[in-house]
Homo-oligomer: A and B are copies of this chain.
């Protein structure tokens, strides 16, 4: 039954349950199915024209994405993130003007992700260009993220560049009594000296 198959396809997407998939399907079927034709067009356009940027791994309709090809962005700063959605999150916040490298995940023994599954090779090629002066490692604050951080520090050591990772601590607006112990402990250890 085509309708049920469409509901099933839609409900496989993140954040979409069966009820929402039903509502979306009814929306698509309304008005002589104009919305279906539009959505199919948009999907086919993405399918045919969007590829991974040869340089950083971001999704782009050009061979080199608009961040890597933007000469106004600082080519000396490289921010390493796990996924494109992390890049989008940083871009939404609009404070970083350097470039990115999408790692494609983090090292994980459980999920059988070794260095060969990540874009380490591409990263080293970019480092060899010699332009990069600072690498900001923006990985998840999980065990896998932190072990990947140490691995990256080893790999990047020969290039003698500044390497930093994101600060850990109390999130802005966060109330202490709702914070988990690990965050509290990290915030305490990395406390900022205001006067001495």
Contact = CB atoms under 8 A, between A and B. Distances in A.
B13 A50 contact: no
Q: Is the interface of A mostly helix, strand, loop or mixed?
A: helix
A6 interface: yes
A36 B28 contact: no
Given A15-B20, A61-B1, A33 B6 contact: no
Interface residues of A, number: 43
Interface in A12-28: 12-16, 20, 22-28
Contact of A43 (B1, B28, B61): B28
Q: How many copies does the complex hold?
A: 2
Interface string A39-77: 110111111011000000001010000000000000000
A141 interface: no
A155 interface: no
B13 A45 contact: no
Contacts of A6: 42-43, 45-46
A1 B60 CA distance: 8
A97 B27 CA distance: 26
A38 interface: yes
A83 B22 CA distance: 13
Contact of A26 (B28, B29, B38, B83): B83
Given A22-B85, A88-B22, A43 B47 contact: no
Nearest to A8: B42
A35 interface: yes
A44 B40 contact: yes
Given A29-B46, A43-B43, 6 more contacts: A2-B42, A3-B59, A13-B27, A16-B20, A16-B24, A37-B47
